[in-house]
Amino acid sequence: MRYIFKFPDIGEGLDEGTIVEWHVDKGATVKMGDSLVTMETDKVVTAIPSPKDGVIVAKFGKVGETIKVGAALVEIEIEGEENKEAQSEAKKEELVEEEGAGVVGTLEVASNELVLSASSEGVEIKRDKRDGGKIKALATPVARAMAKEMGVDINLVKGTGPGGRVTKSDIQNWDRAAHLKSTKIEAKREIVELVEIEPLSQMRKSIAKNMIQSKQKAAHMTLFEEVEVSELDRVRREFKLTYLPYIVKAVAITLKKHRVLNSEMDWEGGNMIYKKYYNIGIAVDTPKGLVVPVIKNANELSIKEIAAKIEELSMSGREGKLTLEQMSDGTFTITSYGSLGGLFAVPVINYPQAAILGIGRVSKKPIVKDDQLAIGLVMPLSLTVDHRIADGGESTRFINDLMGYLTNPISMLME
């Protein structure tokens, strides 16, 4: 018995994924749990395991192809009596198809007015008058079905079969990016030389979708402040840490005093959800784009433990090894663009959270201390809140309390 295994819904609202690597070939024997293919989704790169024991008789999609949830990934011959013939059938399948491609005679392709006569002398093509004279591709049934399954426009594929017929191998080997590049070069070479075209990655699609959703569903308001952090700089240098662990700890403590900024609005249900746990997301810049791993229960961790967790999550993010668990259930987000040189920004809320804190570049500035002009280390802060949830007064009180902890980091130990 043959079983079509479709790309499963792995949660988090994901509806498509890109094939990163195939781990099996046609004719290979697999066991339940063996990795079939590695997929890149909106949030993670993950291996998809085989749901059954059997032999792979067909694969759908090639590396770089985007596959929708519910679309076929592989066809498996389930172990049993029929399994003895599965591997030989897989090897014969292409041969049978190719033999069918060389049939001599007249084949109806798209309509009664579009036919192709194939013989050893060549190919005669009749155009479809109802389609503006456009030539339709001639293909084997298996190739046509595979093209439909993979979302490939078969009319763009150059056939290598008899009479220029498109075969299954043509579909499998067709490179959309190469075709686009070739077409552009043939049409207008100078344009290709001025631009570089790359398909959108799943991560970039996810970032774009989340940003649009946040802007459409939340009422953004941003407060700007500057806090003097000379004492914090002295302490963090003594313990050889960055500013971020202290900021994460200070945010977690401050959120316990301001539950509005650790909440979300259930608009449809008509409720406010105030969270009694403090999971702080940290925006991490990776070669593929921005990811936001989450430090769970940050209020219960020491600053040293937070620093270790930041290092672990950042490394996983840069290597593309974050799991859904490591990126889910955040209650508040911190983005530290200052590490790259920025001062102030207007961060976009990680919806449905209520707020996000931006950290700018720490720099020396003249300050007034004890009525005397002095040089201090100043950290710019940008707090964006969902104004539907948090009013200006509550937002200001939050950032003032946060600044108190950053100005006097030892006070965090008293909480």
* 322-360 pLDDT tens trace: 988 999 999 999 999 988 888 999 999 999 999 999 999
Over range 217-229, report the average pLDDT.
96
Split at pLDDT 50, 70, 90, the class of 180 is low
Q: Which residues, other chains included, contact 255 with Cβ-Cβ below 8 Å and sequence gap of 6+?
A: 261, 262, 278, 299, 331, 332, 398
pLDDT of the residue at 380 = 97
Over range 368-382, report the average pLDDT.
93
Stretch among 25-34, 155-164, 170-179, 225-234 having the lowest mean pLDDT: 170-179
Q: Which is nearest to 248 in space by CA: 300, 315, 320?
A: 300
Q: What are 139-150's pLDDT values in tens digits?
A: 777 788 788 877
Which residues is 205 bridged to in the sheet? none
pLDDT of the residue at 136 = 59
**Contact assessment for residue 396 and residue 367, using Cβ atoms and an 8 Å cutoff:** no
d(CA 124, CA 118): 7
Check if 387 is active-site: yes
- A 10 A CB-CB count for 231 gives 14
Q: Is 312 helix (H, G, I), strand (E, B) or coil?
A: helix
Q: What are 54-77's pLDDT values in tens digits?
A: 999 999 998 888 888 889 999 999
pLDDT value at 248 more than 90: yes
Higher pLDDT pick, 173 / 241: 241
Split at pLDDT 50, 70, 90, the class of 272 is very high
d(CA 293, CA 306): 13
Please report, rounded to a whole number, the percentage of residues in the chain having pLDDT higher than 90: 48
| Longest Cα–Cα distance in the chain | 99
Q: What are 110-147's pLDDT values in tens digits?
A: 333 333 333 333 333 344 444 444 445 677 777 887 88
pLDDT value at 14 more than 80: no
pLDDT value at 163 more than 70: no
- Among all chains, which residue has been given the structure tokens 């009479």? 163
pLDDT of the residue at 111 = 35
Domains of the chain from N-terminus onward: 1-98 (2.40.50.100), 203-414 (3.30.559.10)
Q: Which of 23, 179, 220, 387 is catalytic?
A: 387
d(CA 206, CA 232): 36
pLDDT value at 407 more than 60: yes
- A 10 A CB-CB count for 149 gives 16
Higher pLDDT pick, 318 / 191: 318
pLDDT of the residue at 94 = 46
pLDDT of the residue at 12 = 56
Rg (the chain; Cα; Å): 29
Query: Has this prediction a pTM greater than 0.85?
Result: no
